[in-house]
Amino acid sequence: MKTSLFAIGVFLIGACSGTYKLAKHTDNNIRIIADSLQLYDSSIAIMIAPYKQKLDAQMNEIIGEAEETLTKELPDGSLGNFVADACLSYAQNNNTTADFCVLNSGGVRIPAIQKGPITIGKIYELMPFDNMIEVVELDGNACKELFTWIAKWKGAPVSGIELMLANGEATNVKIKGEPFNESKTYFVATTDYVANGGDGATMFAKGKRTSNNYKLRDAIIDYVKNKQTIKANNNGRIKQN
């Protein structure tokens, strides 16, 4: 009996520690027929057709033109600069004091707007979220934290500000053409997502926030309609040393 138990134990140990090899493999290709789940309902399609046509017409409306292709790049790029310019323009022209604008690169959702007509639908692709524009009052120390945040992300969409990135730090900062003054208070235009600490922008919690309850996407649409022609403004607002 002892011998039998020992033999069984050795067999089980060997079975648990052994390696397994694939004995057989079969490939099957299954063709999926369109709407095989029968989700399409012609009556619903007929019902929503007028609304779809209206929506398509709205999305296909041409509101301006890109003189050149606008591209998303870091440390700065013409597409991010365009979005930041639109944000700052709204903040400065709608009873809100703003010195400069800083946005998060992740909020720009497409890699480029091609040269040629710009449609409302393209702006929705660019900015699909309902982020609101906010202006936050920051003291000098909080601004320095913001500049370090820009350096951490290796750049950001900005307007009204210039800076140099070197060794993970921001230097030679100029705001509206003037050297940054640590003793001053500045008003920074951004989105509610960033102002709420999105992407680690915790320094905005130290400032006083003002919102006009206006979506950044709508401000971009207004900006294009007003400008009509959008230039690829990649003027080295953020330089990499």
Confidence of residue 28 (pLDDT cuts 50, 70, 90): low
Fold observed for domain 60-232: 5'-nucleotidase;  domain 2 (3.90.780)
pLDDT at 82 over 60: yes
The domain locations on the chain are: 60-232
Structure tokens at 188: 């920074």
pLDDT at position 37: 55
**C-alpha span between 76 and 193 (Å, rounded):** 20
- pLDDT digit string, tens, across residues 181-209: 999 999 999 999 999 999 999 999 999 99
Supply the pTM of this predicted model: 0.78
90: left (phi over 0), alpha (psi -120 to 50) or beta: alpha
Give the chain's largest Cα–Cα span: 95
